[in-house]
Amino acid sequence: MARNKKYLANAILLCALGVVLMFLYSGLQSDHINIITAFSSWSSNAIQYPLTVGNFICIPLTFVYGSLFMKYGVKKPLIIVMIITAIGVLGIVASNGLAINDGVGNYALFCLSEVIVRCGCMINQLAGFMLVANWFIRYRGQAMGIVTVGSPLFSIVGTSVMTNFITNHLGNDYRPFYVGIAVIIVVVDIVVAVGVKDTPEDAGLYPDGADHPPVSEANDEVQLTVGEVLKMKKSWLLITSFGAFQFIISACMGSMAVYFMWLSGTMDASVYWVPATKFLAMGAALGIPMSYVFGFLDDKFGSVVASIVLGLCEFMPVLALMFQTGDNRALLLLWGFGVACMTGGVPTLHPCITSFAFGRREYQSANRIIMTIQLIPYSFASLMMSTLITMGKAKTAYGILVVIIIVGIVALFPMLKMKDANAADRMYGEK
């Protein structure tokens, strides 16, 4: 790959762009709710409602986005949707609702804007996954490991640093933060429009910088139908396993602030939540390399083995939260590290194991259906956790998550006997 300078230049751009796309996706899908919860006068459930509505709308949207990618490529839909997302982010700014302003604001505008942002940011993840799947076969795990660093990075820069910065320097006003996010989205949109190609073939290249087409793609591309995908056992194993792992992300990340505020007994963010974000940052910093480690494990030992390791890592943040008292430093650090493994590992390995099962050319036609179904339970995970926590049933909530992780891991074992769909090319690219 390094010998092909043209390919290398495109690969570096794609990886850098992918990091930003995943940063925006991870932050805007649910993580940023913790910032709003900490500084808004609206209740945690009131803040969760539009997010939950957006989650459910994302179920059919995932299929729509995937279908648009298949028909028009990645760039065109991505550019349009990102513009709409930036408008939604500015809507959150305009809606106000800050506690420092005595709750004065437009809740209806906030709800509309949050739904737009949640639905819009979904395309960032799908686009990043699709681009990596298109450009990398042999190196797909490591490339995805670089791209998904953006997810735990938001845990540091977005959730932790910004929560403390907003508290100490912005007078508990998060609006400047969201203006900055809107600016980043516009800049990324320009980069996508000017510098990105959907596939290496569009640039006169081949995946991984090879000098020949993939051997495993000698046959014509097959556009799988919904019925064909749903009849395959491997589809349901993927739906169950990574559906479970994604459920855990939504459940944990969307309810962190309300959980620590509940632990304080006063729903005051400054007691436990704001100090806890510092440990989240430290743990996430330690865990950021894990995104690449999971990618390396994928390339070295296969997607299924790497995914089983990921499933075991998901116990860390869940158990650390389950037994947290509010200021247990060891559990806080374990929580932060586990969050980084979880938010970096799941997006790293989800497209890898889907490519493993279906191959590069059938990836999107299968992925749009698999992810659509996975989003059904994902959509209410965060609200479920917030509701149980505020009802005083936090231990029950995290116990449910433990069971879901076990189900996800068990669903992976039958896939150990499967062969990589692009096996003939997984070792090429160094010639």
pLDDT in tens, 277-325: 888 888 778 778 888 999 999 988 999 999 999 999 999 999 999 999 9
R_g of the chain, CA atoms, integer Å: 21
Q: Hey, where are the domains in the chain?
A: 5-198+224-410
Q: Smallest Cα–Cα separation from 115: which of 51, 29, 165, 167?
A: 51
State which residues of the chain have pLDDT below 70: 1-3, 216-222, 426-431
Global confidence as pTM? 0.81
Q: Smallest Cα–Cα separation from 140: which of 337, 360, 342?
A: 360
Highest CATH level, class, for 5-198+224-410: mainly alpha
Residues contacting 35, CB < 8 A, separation 6+: 158, 159, 162, 163, 166, 174, 177, 257
Between CA 17 and CA 22 the distance in angstroms is: 9
Return the bridge partners of 40, or none.
Answer: 98
pLDDT at 58: 94
pLDDT at 219: 62
- DSSP reduced 3-state for 265: coil
Q: What are phi and psi of 96, to 5 degrees?
A: 60, -125
Mark 245-281 as b/e (b = at least 16 C-beta within 10 Å): bbbbbbbbbbbbbbbbbbbeeebebebbbbbbbebbb
Identity at 122, one-letter amino acid code: M
Between CA 376 and CA 29 the distance in angstroms is: 15
- DSSP reduced 3-state for 113: helix
- DSSP reduced 3-state for 272: coil
Other beta carbons within 10 angstroms of residue 242's beta carbon come to: 26
